[in-house]
Homo-oligomer: A and B are copies of this chain.
Amino acid sequence: MAVYPTAWQYPRTVNAAIPTRNHWVLTIVCPDQPGIVHAVSGAVVAASGNITESQQFSSADTGRFFMRLQVESSADRESFAAALAPIADTYAMQWRLDVVGRPLKTLVLASTAAHCLNDLLFRQRAGQLAVDIPLVLANHGSLRDLAGFYGVPFESAPVTNAEEKAAFERRVVDAVEEHDIELVVLARYMQILSPELCERLAGKAINIHHSFLPGFKGANPYRQAHARGVKLIGATAHFVTSDLDEGPIIEQNVVRVDHSRSVAELVAIGQDEESRTLTQAVKWFSEDRVLLDGARTIIFR
């Protein structure tokens, strides 16, 4: 009962090339030691699988080994898991097995700025981003029409005091449970989450904020950047932690600017960077390409 036409759907760039039937993505984290690749590839053989993509990384900092595989196999999940179980035990692995291209259940938090939400919804619809957004929650009603335009439910409630904030965050928690949310995206939500909510969403909430070289502290950073005559402005997408704007970095982009740009133009240019950086981070996360190594991310692009 979609309210929008689908005939013209944008050609799917990523998934078009990937047969999703029996195509598995396997991610593994464990203490580094010799023999892991041999053991994992043995499990793949046992599951009658063929490795179509493989990336690995040994972290010298934490001594951990990270691996991401795409495997074509006629095995079902149970058989594949059964093949992995013994080596997972031997090597103290954490692992995750998923289907390539499965849309990730994603909750979006927004406020008044449209650019990030618009890009996420447009790309979901165009088939360029494997997310399923069942709901947008906002602290302001102004983006209701945009969500409706793409056929996505939208709720808003003001967050102007501690009580409203607590209520809003309870609604977030409820929505996460109700929709089996796997990822929460702060698409210029502009509110600091409580430490409790940060804790609860650890490793599955992504935020976006502007970035400059060098960083500017305090209010109105674009005005400060303009006053200093910066030549590059950009954006950083990172995991949400209770340490504001300091979570593990997933993606960053910058764009060149010059002296002729007004503060308003810097803001507009920065917003374009925010959109594409956030969308890229969400895309990698949805494809299980983002792993955490302490305060750092491993990105298997």
Q: What residues of chain A have their CB less than 8 Å away from a CB belonging to chain B?
A: 4-5, 7-14, 16-17, 34-35, 37-38, 41-42, 44-45, 48-52, 54-58, 60-61, 113-115, 118, 122, 142-143, 145-146, 148-149, 211-215, 226-232, 234, 236, 245-246, 248-254, 258-260, 262, 264-265, 268-269, 271-272, 293-299, 301
Contact = CB atoms under 8 A, between A and B. Distances in A.
A57 to B, nearest CB: 6
A58 B52 CA distance: 7
Which 8 residue pairs across A and B have the least CB separation, nearest first? Answer: A229-B296, A215-B215, A38-B41, A5-B145, A8-B146, A13-B268, A37-B41, A214-B215
Name, among A58, A260, A262, A269, the residue most crowded by chain B CB atoms within 10 Å (CB to CB): A260
A213 B295 contact: no
A24 to B, nearest CB: 14
Given A4-B149, A8-B114, 7 more contacts: A13-B269, A16-B264, A17-B265, A51-B56, A214-B245, A229-B297, A259-B297
The count of identical subunits is: 4
A146 B122 CA distance: 13
A16 B269 CA distance: 12
A50 B38 contact: no
